[in-house]
Amino acid sequence: MKEDYRCQRRNKLVIGLHLVWATHERRPLITDDLERVAYHAISAEATRLGCEVLAIGGMPDHVHMIVTIPTTLTIARLLNQVKGGSSSTIRNHLGTTRFFAWEPGYAAFSLSPDHQSAAIAYVQKQKEHHANQTTYDDEEI
């Protein structure tokens, strides 16, 4: 019996993540003048690794990013590359005038497609959430 290859099922994997990491000692290092450079460097590095960046935002002492990642990329490699590449770009931008570094750790939360839009909105409104004290605790994310 001849197989019909047009009827074979294909894998469909979409891995959505909400990632959070902090600046060194949670210092307010991401100033208004540095925010655009930092977010662009983070986004460019994630995109280079095959991720789709859906949202990026944060505060002077931490960053949130919503991404989908390819199945061949581990979360650890993604964050290692994103944090390493972005800190290098940021330090080059600052020169010797200011200190910049990330904390070693991070948080990663999986996102179902149903929760993706709410997570994107949350990340895009980080400053508003912090001003209104309507941020999520770890247990709520």
Q: Which tens digits make up the pLDDT trace of 44-94?
A: 999 999 999 999 999 999 999 999 999 999 999 999 999 999 999 999 999
Q: pLDDT confidence of 34, banded at 50, 70, 90?
A: very high
Rounded distance between C-alpha atoms, residue 52 and residue 100, angstroms: 26
Looking at residue 75, its amino acid is I
Q: 96: helix, coil or strand?
A: coil
pLDDT for residue 95 is more than 80: yes
Strands 52-59 and 107-111: unpaired
Structure token digits, residue 124: 């895009």
Q: How does DSSP assign 101-114, residue by residue?
A: -B-S--EEEEE-HH
